[in-house]
Amino acid sequence: MLRNKSLLMAILLSVSSSLSAATLKVDFELPEFNVANYNAPYVAIWLEAKESKETLLLWHLKRADKDKWLVDIRRWWRKLGRYGETADGITGATKGPGKYSETFQLPELQAFTFYIEVVREDGGRTLVKQAIDLTDSVNTYHFDPENELGGLTLTIGEK
Amino acid sequence: MKTKRLVLACSYLVGSMLSSASNAHDIYIWPDYFTLNSDKSTTVPVDITATHTTYRSDFSMPSEGVKIFGTDGKEIRYRGAFYKGARRSTFDLPVEGDGTVKLEYWRGPSYHSSYTIGKRDSLKRMRMNKTELMASIPEDAKNPETVRYMTIGMSYVTNNAPTEAVLTPKNEGVELVPVTHPADFVTGEDLTVRLLLDGKPIAEQDVTVELEGPQYREEPVALELKSDNNGDVNFSLDQGGRYMMKVIHSQPSHDPEADIARTRIYFAFEVIYE
């Protein structure tokens, strides 16, 4: 980490000088499953902080008039889903296996916990969380593949 | 774990000694969906049974005992169909709008008497109140005792955002009141329920929490707990699933037809993974 100290310092300085300009890039993979009944998983990405909670992404079964299985995205449902509508811009249809890269504008928070929850019908469920403090020098987080999540990298950057 | 198994074995034994099914057995009422998200009106199947095995139906129960409390805490008159099967009863709970609904099943009071008699002090049991017992008891009988039983099954259903009105205690009789909202019973988190007698804490009360499906396990997954001085029962569960909390509370009877008043409460709830 120290090899690129000057770069890190530059990022750190710019991040702390303008928190609201920070972005979060989420690179993740939905793995293939060789099963008879594969259903594209539900994916929720959100932030939890003392001050507020915010959904960044929600992929679910859009073709259903009202999706009655949102409750199965268990933590997201308990923390956010059950309290109201999720904005249209954030939601999307479920997607099959593959690599995805999504970049989000971060709200004005210094410290928060990042969550991604992936739930597959007739399959498993994976929940990954990471505490993030924008005043820290760390700006990349890698996670090993785990069940429903083929891999995950979080990159904090500027707009 | 050995003692736990013994405790459970004993409860089976006591159950088989008291042959009147619905009075001696646990009574469960539980929904197929404890939590749901529906913006349209929908239904949730609800089952009721008297049994000795957590979540396994054994004896059906009549509809009279069902009580439903709406999200405002007020009792709702159920007008739908009620099917009383051979070993389980079922009905469809209408769910409309957001919030938490409470299901209850009430059975009782029922009176059970006993005495010992003969050289070997044989225990005799009969379904009688005090007056009936005294009218029929043999002269040489000893240790006559009558117990008045009230049995309450309970559970909650939450649609969308949870509400608190159905968690307000009525401050009447023995009550089990969730402090942690039942829609937030999550693995690894601290969970609390409170036990009250006429609104006052019940301290030092034994409480059992058992995971469903004990018939599939070498050892039942059960916690044996005790309430503290505030009547609070604190616990945490590592495993998600459906659980039954069981409370058997005894006190001297205010009813002259019994010596002991026994209230049994069975609280069906789910624990979800974080």
Residues B114-164 have pLDDT tens digits of 999 999 999 999 999 999 999 999 999 999 999 999 999 999 999 999 999
Contact A124, A100 (CB under 8 A): no
Computed on alpha carbons and rounded to an integer, the radius of gyration of chain B in Å comes to 19
pLDDT at res. B23: 55
* Concatenated DSSP letters of B147-197: EEEEEEEEEEEEESS--SGGGS---SSEEEEESS-GGG-BTTS-EEEEEEE
Give the closest residue to A107 by CA, choosing from A64, A47, A148, A154. A47
* Complex ipTM tops 0.90: no
- Residue B216 sits at φ, ψ, to 5 deg, of -105, 10
Per-residue pLDDT tens digits for A101-113: 999 999 999 999 9
CA A108 to centroid of chain Cα atoms? 17
Give chain B positions within 8 Å (CB) of A71: 35-37
- Tell me if A71 and B37 make a contact (CB, 8 A cut-off): yes
Q: Residue A1 above 50 pLDDT?
A: no
Residues 6+ apart with CB under 8 A from B81: B91, B92
C-alpha–C-alpha distance, residues B113 and B128, integer Å = 6
Asked whether residue A72 carries a pLDDT value surpassing 80, the answer given is yes
Q: Which residues fall within 8 angstroms of residue B193, CB to CB, at 6 or more apart?
A: B176, B177, B178, B179, B180, B232, B233, B245, B267
Asked if A74's CB is within 8 angstroms of B37's CB, the reply is: no
Q: Which residue of A has its CA nearest to B39?
A: A66
CA distance A60 to A69: 9
- Contacts A–B by Cβ distance under 8 A: 35
* Stretch (H or E) spanning B10: helix B2-17
Cβ-defined contact of B39 to A74 (cutoff 8 Å): no
Residue B186: name the closest of A24, A79, A66, A135 by CA: A79
Q: Residue B142 and residue A95: Cα distance in Å, rounded? A: 75
CATH architecture group of domain B2-110+146-168+247-267: Sandwich (2.60)
Weakest mean pLDDT among A7-11, A115-119, A148-152, B267-271: A7-11
Distances (CA, A) of A12 to A103, A123, A136: 19, 40, 7
List, for residues A33-69, the tens digit of each pLDDT value: 999 999 999 999 999 999 899 999 999 987 655 688 8
Q: Which of A46, A58, A71 to mutate: most B Cβ within 10 Å? A: A71
Cis peptide bond prior to B256, omega within 30° of 0: no
CA distance A93 to A120: 13
Which positions of chain B have pLDDT values less than 70? 1-23
Residue of B95, B160, B186, B189 to mutate when probing chain A, most A C-beta within 10 A: B160
Q: How far apart are CA A104 and CA A99, in angstroms?
A: 17
Q: Does B273 touch chain A (CB under 8 A)?
A: yes
Predicted confidence at residue A20, as pLDDT, reads 56
3-state SS assignment for residue A70: helix
Contacts of A75 in chain B (CB under 8 A): 274
Residue ranges of domains in chain A: 2-158
* pTM of the predicted protein model: 0.86
Least Cα separation, residue A68 to chain B (angstroms)? 6
Is the CATH code 1.10.10 the one for domain A2-158?
Answer: no
- What pLDDT, on a 0 to 100 scale, did the predictor assign at position B62? 95
Q: Which residues of A touch B (CB under 8 A)?
A: 66-68, 70-71, 74-75, 77-78, 81-84, 125, 127
Does the distance separating the beta carbons of A75 and B37 come in below 8 Å? no
